[in-house]
Amino acid sequence: MQNISETVLEIDLNALGNNYRYLRSKLNPDTKILGVVKAFGYGSSAVAVAKELANLGADYLAVAYASEGIILRDGGVNMPILVLHSLPHNFESIVHRCLEPNIYSKKILLEFIDYAEEHALENYPIHLKFNTGLNRLGFSEEDIPYILEALSKTKSVTVKSALSHLAASEDHAERAFTLQQIDAFKRISKALIAGLGYHPILHTVNTSGILNYPEAHLNMVRTGIGLYGFGNDPVQNKFLQPILTLKTIISQIHEIAAGETIGYNRAYTTPSPVRTATLPIGHADGISRALGNGVGWVTIFGKKAPIIGNVCMDMIMVDVSEISCNEGDEVLIFGNDPTAETLSEAINSIPYELLTALSQRIKRVVCRK
């Protein structure tokens, strides 16, 4: 039954609940869960996902930047929110909106303490990020004495959590390296706690870490992609449900003779007569140009329709020569079959990239299927 009239991204909160409960089943009852809702909730709706996570019992949220946390606050989300990549320029916004900064360097630590003291803050929650091998953001283990000394001189902040980030928790071939990271973080945590005199929350695992390294769950775990339906593993994917379904419609159907060309740069020449459907979605919506020229496809009434020619900014053309369909009919880009992971694999990408590339001009529809 036709139920859409434009390109829409459906966000299934029941699927989100399934994924949350599955991940929760892997944890001890007293282990906290931090839900990652950065990048518009991995391309969905950060506010809708955050509110549902609150209803499901999540303990914390995380965003990449302060601006994302502000969107959540403006949307009525009151949970604790960790800003993973805090910047001095945003300290005022972070404090004003009761966000919690991730502190990852000596410079950021001193600047935030200065800001907190200047504004007469007391025990403002901060989070300390340690680099154990990802080599992206974070203090080194050797920075612990410096951190402790700086903290001992102020009452403006308190350490709410200490964290690190695993580099390859989904790759079983990198198990030895991951265990080294876990051991390093445990060693860092022990030294930090001894110096602080109190026990902050400790967290280092992501979705794959939850599933593959139960010994590293500690006080809290972080999960992003797992909430949205992907476990970075075919076995785990069977227990998770993609929460996003991207659909569009057929705008126009063409009957094209043999020897004609289709689309920009005349990238496709018809070897025989072909029937095409033009769809109102393109690379400005997050459909990579790499999916053009037969690499990617859409699904119409359960049948594959290859993308032919180059992906345009606002449109794609697909071959429907073997599919009985009409203008206005519904088209599936991805959902449960194919999934975003299946489609992204066609261009050697990952579902993270496909989902987070989805344009904000696509209409979001929150539902429960």
Contacts for 290 with CB less than 8 Å, ≥ 6 apart: 296, 347, 349
Helix, strand, or coil (residue 101): strand
Amino acid identity of residue 333, one-letter, is I
What DSSP line would sit under 53-75, residue for residue?
HHHHT--EEEESSHHHHHHHHHT
Rounded Cα–Cα distance for residues 36 and 38 (Å): 6
The residues carrying an active-site annotation are 38, 264
| Helix ranges (DSSP H) in the chain | 13-24, 38-42, 46-56, 66-74, 91-96, 106-118, 144-152, 175-196, 207-212, 234-237, 340-345, 351-356
| Cα maximum dimension of the chain | 79
Torsion sign across C-alpha atoms 104, 110, 116, 122: positive
Torsion sign across C-alpha atoms 290, 292, 294, 296: positive
Rounded Cα–Cα distance for residues 144 and 115 (Å): 21
